[in-house]
Amino acid sequence: MSDTHPLSSDELDAIERRCRLASPGPWQSFVEGREHLGGDNFIRIGGLDDSEPDMHVSRAPEQGLAPASSHDLDFIAHARQDIARLLAEVRRLHSSQTR
């Protein structure tokens, strides 16, 4: 489904509020065999200081819990940083159109 109407200020504010209330960044996906050897795939929250617990993401097919794919982990982890950058760019573009 594609929604092509321009984002309103209220919608941008709601997206920004969700971003601000999420656990602090950076978020980084760690996939077994790619970033580490042995153990579960996870998303590290907040960097190396371990002030936030890691995030483990699972799917629930009929046969029980299954780990999220590495692509889903990458998307979720990058969204923490990407959304803030995209919001800033959209607001910049909106402000340049009103000049």
Query: Can you tell me the distance from the alpha carbon of 39 to that of 37, in angstroms, rounded to the nearest whole number?
Result: 7
Query: Can you tell me the distance from the alpha carbon of 12 to that of 41, in angstroms, rounded to the nearest whole number?
Result: 32
Q: List per-residue pLDDT tens for the chain, 99 residues long.
A: 467 888 889 999 999 999 999 999 999 999 998 888 888 999 999 988 888 999 999 999 898 999 899 999 999 999 999 999 999 999 999 888 877
Query: Can you tell me the distance from the alpha carbon of 83 to that of 78, in angstroms, rounded to the nearest whole number?
Result: 8
Q: What is the pLDDT of residue 39?
A: 86
Q: What is the pLDDT of residue 2?
A: 60
Q: What is the pLDDT of residue 94?
A: 87
Parallel, antiparallel, or unpaired for β 27-30 and 66-67? unpaired
Q: What is the pLDDT of residue 10?
A: 95
